[in-house]
């Protein structure tokens, strides 16, 4: 019996400590938000922490203090009302600001985009400490609210979305680099050569980048190639995104221009339909090397 009471008290105090931790987290958030304009990476986190804090407090009181049945009922009612209010605010908040949040396969990076559902404007947020984020850049086109997120590597996330005029676009979140990471480089220039994979081929030469899929070939000149970070490019056609090419995690480049790059690239088609990226292996410098 004594062991049971002791265990109950330990659990109660742990819950109380968790409640204090959640409360301090919220107070810290208010300070950081006011001073550094940082936000939770997903706005819904604010209301979830509120709910967790109150649940921990309620359970801690229940385990640590002896209360009458009436006070338990009153306390339970207050907790339920608080949870319902925060749940309603959570839903309402997400209706005003739609949160598009995705965690990388290795759980090291978080993609965050917040869209004003009324205006259709969407902003990409850069994550800090996994839970906080600051606005980095606005997506160039107003969206219709439909997004598709696909991680092409542990540090490359492709966001495909439809603009208000029904055109398809891609925004790429990048969170790393290839090489030594000291200097900026152009992805298109570094991945020169010929790459092949399942029913797909990419040839990168002075004319531009040629993509062949299932026998259909398209050439994208350098004026229609947009770079994101130092890991990916988007190939444009008629002001629409057509393909994304990302440097795979095993891709290596060298400061000595006489040494060709090695490793794979990832080819991903811009479509709102369900599709998977294709990994292409480098086989030659260019088509003439066959």
Predicted confidence pLDDT, tens digits, the chain (290 residues): 566 678 888 999 999 999 999 999 999 999 999 998 899 999 999 999 999 999 999 999 988 888 888 888 888 999 999 999 999 999 999 889 999 999 999 999 999 999 998 888 999 999 888 789 999 999 988 888 889 999 999 999 999 999 888 899 999 999 988 876 666 788 988 898 999 988 899 999 989 999 999 889 999 999 999 999 999 999 999 889 999 999 999 998 877 767 888 899 999 999 999 999 999 999 877 544 44
- Cα-Cα-Cα-Cα torsion 86, 89, 91, 96, nearest 10 degrees, comes to -160
Do 258 and 187 fall within a single domain?
yes
Q: Is residue 191 part of a domain?
A: yes
Do 88 and 158 fall within a single domain?
no
Do 269 and 152 fall within a single domain?
yes
Q: Within 10 A of 186 (CB to CB), how many other CB atoms are there?
A: 12
CA nearest to 134, candidates 27, 30, 37, 28: 37
In 50-109, at which residue ranges do the beta strands (DSSP E only) sit?
A: 97-103
Q: Within 10 A of 215 (CB to CB), how many other CB atoms are there?
A: 6
Q: Is residue 167 part of a domain?
A: yes
CA nearest to 267, candidates 288, 240, 239, 241: 241
SS3 (DSSP) at 278:
strand
Q: Is residue 112 part of a domain?
A: no
SS3 (DSSP) at 176:
coil
Task: Give the whole-angstrom CA distance, residue 172 versus residue 111.
Answer: 10
DSSP type of residue 79? H
Please give the pLDDT value at position 81. Answer: 96
Do 168 and 279 fall within a single domain?
yes
Q: Is residue 120 part of a domain?
A: no
Residue pair 286/203 in contact (Cβ under 8 Å)? The answer is yes
Domains in the chain: how many in total?
Answer: 2
Please give the pLDDT value at position 182. Answer: 62
Do 155 and 78 fall within a single domain?
no
Q: Over the Cα atoms of the chain, what is R_g?
A: 25
Q: Is residue 86 part of a domain?
A: yes
- State the residue range of the domain holding 72: 2-95
Residue pair 101/122 in contact (Cβ under 8 Å)? The answer is no
Sheet holding 110-116, edge to edge: 39-40, 132-138, 122-128, 110-116, 97-103
Question: For the whole model, what pTM was predicted?
Answer: 0.84
Q: Is residue 102 part of a domain?
A: no
Task: Give the whole-angstrom CA distance, residue 135 versus residue 202.
Answer: 34
Do 158 and 284 fall within a single domain?
yes
Q: Is residue 108 part of a domain?
A: no
Do 151 and 72 fall within a single domain?
no
């Amino acid at each position: 019996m004594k062991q049971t009471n002791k265990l109950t008290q330990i659990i109660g105090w742990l819950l109380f400590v968790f409640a204090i931790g959640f409360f301090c987290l919220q107070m810290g958030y208010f300070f950081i938000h006011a001073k550094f304009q940082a936000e939770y990476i997903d706005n819904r986190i604010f209301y979830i922490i509120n709910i967790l804090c109150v649940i921990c407090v309620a359970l801690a009181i229940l385990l640590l203090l002896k209360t009458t049945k009436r006070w338990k009922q009153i306390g339970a009612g207050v907790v339920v009302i608080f949870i319902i209010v925060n749940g309603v605010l959570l839903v309402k908040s997400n209706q005003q600001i739609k949160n598009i949040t995705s965690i990388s396969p290795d759980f090291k990076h978080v993609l965050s985009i917040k869209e004003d559902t009324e205006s259709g404007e969407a902003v990409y947020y850069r994550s800090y400490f996994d839970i906080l984020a600051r606005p980095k850049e606005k997506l160039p086109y107003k969206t219709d609210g439909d997004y598709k997120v696909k991680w092409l590597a542990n540090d490359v996330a492709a966001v495909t979305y439809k603009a208000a005029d029904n055109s398809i676009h891609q925004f790429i979140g990048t969170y790393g680099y290839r090489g030594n990471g000291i200097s900026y480089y152009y992805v298109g220039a570094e991945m020169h050569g010929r790459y092949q994979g399942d029913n797909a081929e990419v040839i990168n030469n002075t004319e531009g980048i040629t993509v062949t899929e299932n026998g259909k070939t398209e050439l994208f000149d350098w004026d229609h190639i947009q770079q994101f970070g130092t890991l990916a490019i988007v190939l444009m056609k008629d002001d629409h995104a057509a393909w994304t090419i990302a440097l795979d995690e095993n891709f290596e480049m060298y400061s000595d221009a006489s040494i060709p790059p090695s490793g794979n690239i990832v080819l991903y088609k811009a479509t709102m339909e369900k599709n998977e990226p294709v990994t292409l292996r480098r086989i030659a410098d260019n088509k003439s090397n066959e």
